[in-house]
Structure 1
Amino acid sequence: MPFLALLIVLIAAILHAISNFLFKGGRDAAAMLWWSVTIGALWYGAFLATQASFAMPLETWVVFIPSALAEIAYARLITFGYADGALSQVYPIARGAPLLLIALFGALFLDERLPALGYVGIALLVVGIYLASLPSLGDWARPLRAARHRPTQIALLAALMVTIYTLLDKIGMRSASPLVYNWWVYASIAIGFAPFVWSRANRASTAREFRLNWRRILIASVATVGSYLAALIGLQMTAASYVGSVRATSVVMGALLGWLFLKEQLGALRVFAAALMVAGLVLIAVAR
C-alpha cells in the first residue's frame, strides 16, 4: 500500500473515531448522526460551491445511487442496533466482517489482487478488531453464539451495507472528484434519513438533541465529513480492501480516546489487540 495512501486513510480512521467519541455524549444516536451529517452537508456544500461544480458524470451516478441507498440503510441499521441495546455484543462482527467481504468481493468483481503480506495484514486487523471489542478473552465465542439473535443479524446486514458502498465508491472514484462525490454522499444521507428522525415518534427527541449537544454536533460534522473525504481520496489511490481495513482501526482509536478523556479501562486484551493491528498496518504498508 502506498505510504501516502496509508497516511490519508489513517487520518480518515482518526476522524471517524473522533466523531464516534463525540456521539457517546448524546442521548439519541440517530438524531446525533442526522444532525452531524446534515450540518456537514450544509457547510461543506457552501465551501464546495466556491471551489467546484456539483455535477458528476452519468457513469458515476450509476454506482452512486445504489451506494447512497446502502449508506442510508447502514445508518438506519446501526442506529437501530444501538437502540436495541445489544449491538456491543456483536460489534466485532459489524466491524470485522466488512474487511473480509471487501477483500473477497474486491478480488471477484474489481480484480483486486493483493500480495500475500497484504492479506496477512488484513487478517491481523480483523483479529485485532474482534479482540478489541470483547469484554474479555473468555468471551471470544459470544458473538458467534449470538448469530441467530436479532442484534447479530442487524450487525451482519450493516456489515454488508459497508461492503456494498465501499466497493461502489471505489468504482465511483474512477470518474468523479472525491470533493464532489463526498458532498452527494452526505446530502443523500441527510435527505434519506430525515423521514425517520423527524417522524412523529422521534421529532421531539431530534430537536432536543440539538439543543443539548449542538457543540458536539458541530465538531462531529467536521470530523465525519473529513473522514469520508479522506477515505474517498484513499480509494482513488489504492485497493478498496486496504482502505476498508485501515479505516476500521478507528475501533482501537476510539478505545484510546475513551481511555484518555473518559478514564475508561483499556485492559491487557485491548493493548494486545492494538499491537496486532499495528502489526497488520506494518504488513499492509510494506506489501507490494
Structure 2
Amino acid sequence: MQPGTIAIVLVAAVAHAVWNMASKYKRGDTFLFVWAYTCASAALCVPIGIVLVATGAQPLSWQFAVGSLVSAALHLAYSLTLQAGYDRADLSVVYPVARGTGPVLTMLFAILLLGERLTALAMLGSLVIVAGIVVVAGNPFKGIQRNPLQGVLWGAATGAAIAGYTLWDSYSIVSLHLAPVSYYAGTLLLQTLLLTPGAVRRRDLISATVRTDAAPVLTVAVLSPLAYILVLTAMQTAPVALVAPLRESSIVIGSLLAWRLFHENHLVRRITGAGIVLAGIAAVSL
C-alpha cells in the first residue's frame, strides 16, 4: 500500500474521529440531527456533483443511478441498525463490536467476493490494526446493566452493515468507475430524500433541533463527507480489504480525544492500543 494512500486514509480517520466527537455534543432529537447534517452535507456536495456532471467528468448513467441508490440504502441501514442497537443495548458493547467486526467482515468478503489478493504481511498488518482497536475499546462487558449477548448481536449486525456499504462503495468506485465526489453527492441527495418524510413527521421539533445543535450539525456536515470521500479516493488505488481496517484507526484517535476532552480514563490502555495500531499500519505500508 503506497504511503500517499495511507496518508489519505489516516487524514480521513482524523476527520471521522473529530466529527464523531462533535456529535457527542448533540442535544436535540437524534433522527432530526442525522437528517439536518445529511441535508447540510448534500447542500455542500451536490452542487459540486452537478458541476462534474455538467462538465462530463461524471456522465449520468444507470451505473451512477443504481450505485448511488444502493449506497444510500446501505448507509441508511447502517445508521438505523446502529441507532436501534444503542436503544436496545449498551453503547459500550455495541460500538466496539461494530467497529471490530466491520473491517474483519470487509476483509473476508473482499477476498471471497471481489477476488482481492493480499500479501501475508499486509493481511497480518490488517489483523494487528483490528487487535489494536480491540485493545483501545477495552472490556465492553465491564459494568453493563443489560444482557451482553443482545449488545454483541446488535454490534455484529452493525458491523455487517458497515461491511455491506464499504464493499458496495468499493465496487462502485473500482468496477463501475464512478467518481468519488459525484458518487457520494448522489448518495447524500438520495439519503436526504429518504430521511425527509420522517423529518416532516417531526416538523414541530426541527426549529429547536437546528438552534440547539447548529455547531455539531455544521461540523459533521463538513467533516463526514470529507472523511468518506477521502476513503473512496483511496479505494481507487488500494484494496478495500486494507482500506477498511486502516480507516477504523479513527477509533484510536477518537479514544485519545475522548481522554483529552471528556477526561475519560485508561490512558495507558489507549496508548498501548494506539501503538499496536501503528505497528499494523507499518506492516500494511510494507
Deviation at 1:36, TM superposition (A): 1.3
Matching of residue 71 in structure 1 with residue 72 in structure 2 = no
Task: Specify the alignment match of 1:181 in structure 2.
Answer: 183
Distance 1:48 1:62 in 2: 16
Distance 1:88 1:205 in 2: 29
Matching of residue 15 in structure 1 with residue 15 in structure 2 = yes
CA contact (8 A) 1:125 1:281 kept: yes
Distance 1:238 1:56 in 2: 26
Deviation at 1:85, TM superposition (A): 5.4
Distance 1:81 1:259 in 2: 24
Q: Secondary structure at the match of 2:213?
A: helix
Q: After superposing the two structures, state which structure 1 stretch, 226-235 or 61-70, moved more.
A: 61-70
Q: After superposing the two structures, state which structure 1 stretch, 83-92 or 56-65, moved more.
A: 56-65
Task: Specify the alignment match of 1:26 in structure 2.
Answer: 26
Distance 2:205 2:269 in 1: 37
Distance 1:207 1:74 in 2: 26
1:172-226 residue CA offsets vs partner (Å, 9 max, x unmatched):
11311111001012112222233334434xx444542211120221121100010
CA contact (8 A) 1:256 1:266 kept: no
Identity %: 26
Task: Specify the alignment match of 1:131 in structure 2.
Answer: 135
Unaligned runs of 5+ in 2: none
Deviation at 1:39, TM superposition (A): 0.3
Distance 2:205 2:131 in 1: 37
Matching of residue 163 in structure 1 with residue 163 in structure 2 = yes
Task: Specify the alignment match of 1:275 in structure 2.
Answer: 275
Unaligned runs of 5+ in 1: none
State the AA in 2 paired with 1:6. I
Deviation at 1:103, TM superposition (A): 0.9
Task: Specify the alignment match of 2:228 in structure 1.
Answer: 228
CA contact (8 A) 2:78 2:158 kept: yes
Q: Secondary structure at the match of 2:252?
A: helix
State the AA in 1 paired with 2:34. L
- Kindly tell me the number of residue pairs found equivalent between the two proteins: 278
TM-score (norm 2): 0.88
Distance 2:129 2:207 in 1: 38
Q: Secondary structure at the match of 2:201?
A: coil
